[in-house]
Amino acid sequence: MLRKTATTVGSACKKYFTKFEKNRRTMSDLQLIANNNERAEALINSIEAEISGIQQQLVERQKQDLIKENAELAKEVEAALAQLVQLELRNGKKQIPVPGSRGFCTSAAPEAPPTGGAPASTVEATKVSKEPKEKKVKEKKPAPEKPAAAPEAPVDVGRLDLRVGKIVEVGRHPDADSLYLEKIDCGEAAPRTVVSGLVKFVPLEEMQNRLVVVMCNLKPAKMRGVTSEAMVMCASTPDKVEVLSPPAGAVPGDLVHCEGYPRQPDAQLNPKKKIFEACAPDLMTNGDLVACYKGAALHVPGKGNVVAQTLKNVNVK
């Protein structure tokens, strides 16, 4: 009897411990699931924060791009306005500055009509006199003759706005291995952005902080996404290119002249008229390394000539 009772008790204990072990494992699995849920939630929060940061960066980048584009458009508007003023001056239209505006007015403002009512005596006379008046036939006045358009300046180097500049910042173009991206001080309020294809010919260290000659009235053009606002002038052959050097003592903003060709540059060269293309064949260095136009030296008055380093009798462009 005791043996049977012991067997029964042992069997009951075994069932109890088996059930306890199952419950313990179930609790352990639930705890593991809860921990996994916490880690997943933390990961989701981290990803959401990262996405939010990326979105903010994209918005800021788009904002900066728009600001830059607006600045470029403003420069184009200013250049177009300057060109319009120059054309009107050539056509004999007087330019009158408009107060509070950046533009000009080409004709005087019409006179304001007189204010106030007519005198009482005049009103009374009008009321008394009811007799019809004879209509006067107005004589047609001959139309005033339009002034003859001013002749266009001759196509020569005087139409090119050549100035001394200093490269204050230079680096590789982010999207083109053969291009430099430069900031050039031309003696203006802000440096000009210039893109030059000189990587294969001039080492980067030779471009830094050097004086150059730049043509400043080319129409701004985008080169691989960056708007170039001028052109660095160089002596050039198919195998070698040298950046032209201004004379000693020259400073940013100095104007480059050419003897025999009065300096009267366009505000902005019209690409359709191909003025630079017409001048380019006659821009060359001579046997003394001096940059010339039709044999006349390019120079900064009182300071000296513009020169190349070694290239003689080659094109300048």
CATH number of the structural domain spanning residue 210: 2.40.50.140
Angle 293-295-296 from CA coordinates, rounded to 5°: 65
Residue 285: which of 257, 260, 307, 258 has the closest Cα? 307
By C-alpha distance, which of 179, 181, 163 is closest to 171?
Answer: 181
Which one of 44, 63, 93 terminates a domain? 93
**Do both 161 and 303 map to the same domain?**
yes
- Residue 112: what pLDDT? 47
Domain count, the chain: 2
Q: Is residue 48 part of a domain?
A: yes
The predicted-structure confidence for 244-273, as pLDDT tens digits, reads as follows: 999 999 999 999 999 999 999 999 999 999
Could you tell me if 179 and 301 lie in one domain?
yes
Looking at the fold, whether 211 and 285 belong to one and the same domain comes out as yes
Q: Which of 253, 232, 267, 230 is nearest to 303 (CA)?
A: 253
The per-type count for the chain, helices as H runs and strands as E runs, is 4, 17
Are 203 and 302 in a shared domain?
A: yes
- For residue 285, being part of any structural domain is answered with yes
Query: CA–CA separation, 300 vs 140, rounded Å?
Result: 57
Range of the domain at 39: 30-93
Instruction: Give the model's pLDDT for residue 74.
Output: 87
Residues 170 and 297 in one domain: yes
- Residue 109: the pLDDT is 44
Residues of the chain with pLDDT under 50: 107-129
Same domain for 166 and 53?
A: no
Residue 136 phi, psi dihedral angles, 5° rounding? -85, 130
**Token pair of 56 as six digits:** 């903010």
Tell whether 87 and 163 lie within a shared domain.
no
Two tokens at 65?
């791009």
Residue 106 and residue 94: Cα distance in Å, rounded?
A: 6
Which residue in 309, 279, 311 sits closest to 296, CA to CA?
A: 279
Would you say residue 15 lies in a domain?
no
Confidence at residue 9, expressed as pLDDT on a 0 to 100 scale: 62
Out of 93, 121, 140, pick the residue that ends a domain: 93
Bin 92: left if φ > 0, else alpha if -120 < ψ < 50, else beta: left
CA–CA dist 153, 132 (Å, integer):
60
- Full DSSP string of 28-92: HHHHHHHHHHHHHHHHHHHHHHHHHHHHHHHHHHHHHHHHHHHHHHHHHHHHHHHHHHHHHHHTT
Residue ending a domain, choose from 75, 93, 111: 93
Sign, CA torsion 269/270/271/273: negative
Q: Would residue 143 count as lying in a domain?
A: no
Q: What tokens were used for 154?
A: 């001759």
pLDDT tens by residue, 57-81 = 888 888 889 998 988 898 888 888 8
- pLDDT for position 110: 46
Output the pLDDT for position 50. Answer: 87
Q: 68 and 189: one domain?
A: no
Residues 289 and 164 reside in one and the same domain:
yes
Residue 298's φ and ψ, nearest 5 degrees, are -85, 130
Q: Give the per-residue pLDDT at 266.
A: 94
Q: Distance (Å, rounded) from C-alpha 90 to C-alpha 150?
A: 5
Structure tokens of 161? Answer: 């706005």
Residue 81 lies inside a defined structural domain of this protein: yes
Q: Is residue 275 part of a domain?
A: yes
Q: Domain check: are 85 and 166 in the same one?
A: no
Asked if residue 145 belongs to a domain, the reply is no
Q: Which two tokens stand for residue 78?
A: 């200013």
Please indicate, yes or no, if residue 252 is contained in any of the structural domains.
Answer: yes
Residues 170 and 80 in one domain: no
